[in-house]
A and B are shown apart, each in its own frame.
Chain A
């Protein structure tokens, strides 16, 4: 049973989530191939070759794949699909974008965002914003799957896979990249961080998010936000944790001034330890927090920073 795993990367670094997606692939079967599609992405190919449990790396290095446009990538994956029974990508924005196109071109449906594998055709995935867990069997001949990386543990990176350079170029020619506006940060990626501190509406404004910086520095944490904080314009949307933002499961999640709406909880309730700092003792966040402190965040944050 052959499995094709799509590597998530930014043309220079293989994203840590791919290591978790490979773990999901291993739960399904053996004979795993990674596809690296990008432009000037040799460093990603090298990193992919070291991923444990992978036998082959397919490298498609071409300008047509630089921005991983769904139209071009989906055609490439479909070209390769004949040799694989399972086609798997991480449920990050790139994978979510092109994989359903792959599925439709192959005339199969997709199983999105799996958090568990029961067998090679049966998968576990959350529905209704994580308020129910469905066990779903795919009846299609090929399985097109996206993986929620927080459901799996990363595989190690001391492997040695064979690299095969692909000479296929698939360019649909109906879309083009205009510009990127990426948030620059020295902090760890939200998806990969072992500690996350998030602010909500209680932070009151964007400037007050600076109160989280010192604590994040001391803990090596990433900084997240609730939708309320993003909608109010305090911070950019790529910091949003929740149903429509990022799903995270760090060792420690500190929620500051976040009430704990369903849509936020779905994004972080699989964290190992949850700490809530909120002045409202009735806030729903306290129902999931391992440790809560009822306090004004403007008093609590400086004190916490000083005592870490």
Chain B
């Protein structure tokens, strides 16, 4: 069984982003970039399926300019077998991303597509679900456990009130939540080996999809700053302030 893992290059999650002074966007110049944490979990899950003898091949795919090859090499070092880069210098809306991924799904015919539940830059939480709609595949979003049982995949999902388990006919889409697994570190020998693994480059324009923007970013501003308050010395003082100054308790 083939597993396809779409991954995204994003700002490192520890970096505090700065909004550009002209409010056109956030400033990504000279900022540390990394594989999106949820995508890393997706790669790990696919590699574990391979180690368990369930998956035969793990293919990582990313959409972007040449720089995203760095994250594809990371995925290869973590255990993916080969990688596909879809070359574009445009910033694409999630629907257009999903349409490009649909083409890769048609070409590769994976039984399982594992994506992160959201990218920590755009915070959209859309692509996996959209790919499900376009391919007609069922989806197990926000997965904290994935079990293959015959031609079905059982996915335990993190929902508002707790957990929910669904059975999906394969081929299916899974999007990962943080608790699905703990990703491994790439060892130096594996990083060296990853350099020799195949990485195909395809041009986004060759897929014949209309990739014109669906949204227009008008403005990006910093959030309202919260002012630091006061430090009280005693619990008595705290209770008194909450009752009489903030009036949030009675």
Q: Answer yes or no: do A and B interact.
A: yes
Interface of B is mostly: mixed
Question: Does B188 sit at the interface, judged by CB under 8 A?
Answer: no
- Which residues of B sit under 8 angstroms from A273, Cβ to Cβ? 242, 246, 248
A244 to B123: give the CA distance in the assembly, Å.
10
Whether A101 pairs with B133 at a CB distance below 8 angstroms is yes
* Inter-chain CB contacts under 8 Å: number: 260
Give A174-207 interface residues, CB cut-off 8 Å to B. 174-183, 191, 195
A289 to B26: give the CA distance in the assembly, Å.
26
Question: Does B249 sit at the interface, judged by CB under 8 A?
Answer: yes
| With A93-B142, A104-B134, A174-B168: A291-B232 Cβ-Cβ less than 8 Å | yes
Q: Nearest chain-A residue to B144 (Cβ)?
A: A237
CB distance from B27 to the nearest CB of A (A): 10
- Which residues of A sit under 8 angstroms from B1, Cβ to Cβ? none
Taken residue by residue from 101 to 124, chain A's Cβ proximity to chain B (1 for < 8 Å, 0 otherwise) reads as 111110111111100000000100
Whether A70 pairs with B218 at a CB distance below 8 angstroms is no
| With A97-B141, A131-B16, A238-B160: A227-B166 Cβ-Cβ less than 8 Å | no
- Which residues of A sit under 8 angstroms from B238, Cβ to Cβ? 275, 291, 293, 304
Whether B94 pairs with A303 at a CB distance below 8 angstroms is no
Taken residue by residue from 1 to 21, chain B's Cβ proximity to chain A (1 for < 8 Å, 0 otherwise) reads as 000000000010100110100
Taken residue by residue from 158 to 180, chain A's Cβ proximity to chain B (1 for < 8 Å, 0 otherwise) reads as 00000000000000101111111
- Which residues of A sit under 8 angstroms from B214, Cβ to Cβ? 108-109, 138-140
Whether B161 pairs with A96 at a CB distance below 8 angstroms is no
- Which residues of A sit under 8 angstroms from B89, Cβ to Cβ? none
Whether B216 pairs with A137 at a CB distance below 8 angstroms is yes
Cβ contact of B132, chosen from A101, A134, A246, A300, cutoff 8 A: A101
Question: Does A61 sit at the interface, judged by CB under 8 A?
Answer: no
CB distance from A13 to the nearest CB of B (A): 11
| With A70-B141, A181-B163, A273-B246: A108-B95 Cβ-Cβ less than 8 Å | yes
| With A182-B161, A287-B228: A70-B132 Cβ-Cβ less than 8 Å | yes
- Which residues of B sit under 8 angstroms from A127, Cβ to Cβ? 26, 121-123, 220
CB distance from A261 to the nearest CB of B (A): 9
The interface size of chain A toward B, counting residues with CB under 8 Å, comes to 91
CB distance from B190 to the nearest CB of A (A): 26
Whether B226 pairs with A138 at a CB distance below 8 angstroms is no
Cβ contact of B129, chosen from A92, A100, A286, A290, cutoff 8 A: A100
Cβ contact of A292, chosen from B164, B179, B232, B249, cutoff 8 A: B232
Cβ contact of A131, chosen from B96, B117, B163, B223, cutoff 8 A: B223
A74 to B213: give the CA distance in the assembly, Å.
23
Question: Does A27 sit at the interface, judged by CB under 8 A?
Answer: no
Question: Does A210 sit at the interface, judged by CB under 8 A?
Answer: no
Question: Does A63 sit at the interface, judged by CB under 8 A?
Answer: no
- Which residues of A sit under 8 angstroms from B163, Cβ to Cβ? 180-182, 237-238
A164 to B96: give the CA distance in the assembly, Å.
36
Question: Does A26 sit at the interface, judged by CB under 8 A?
Answer: no
Q: Nearest chain-B residue to A307 (Cβ)?
A: B239
- Which residues of A sit under 8 angstroms from B169, Cβ to Cβ? 174-175
CB distance from B188 to the nearest CB of A (A): 28
Question: Does B148 sit at the interface, judged by CB under 8 A?
Answer: no
- Which residues of B sit under 8 angstroms from A129, Cβ to Cβ? 120, 123
- Which residues of A sit under 8 angstroms from B121, Cβ to Cβ? 127-128
Whether B179 pairs with A231 at a CB distance below 8 angstroms is yes
Cβ contact of B123, chosen from A69, A74, A104, A113, cutoff 8 A: A113
A159 to B93: give the CA distance in the assembly, Å.
38
16 residue pairs of the A-B complex, CB under 8 angstroms, read: A71-B139, A100-B129, A101-B129, A110-B126, A131-B26, A132-B221, A133-B221, A136-B216, A137-B218, A139-B216, A174-B169, A175-B168, A177-B167, A238-B162, A287-B226, A293-B232
Q: Which 6 A-B pairs have the closest CB atoms?
A: A100-B129, A290-B229, A104-B133, A104-B130, A100-B126, A109-B214
Taking A100-B127, A109-B215, A137-B218 as given, write out 4 further A-B residue pairs in contact, using a Cβ cutoff of 8 Å, ordered by the A residue number.
A113-B125, A287-B228, A291-B241, A293-B238
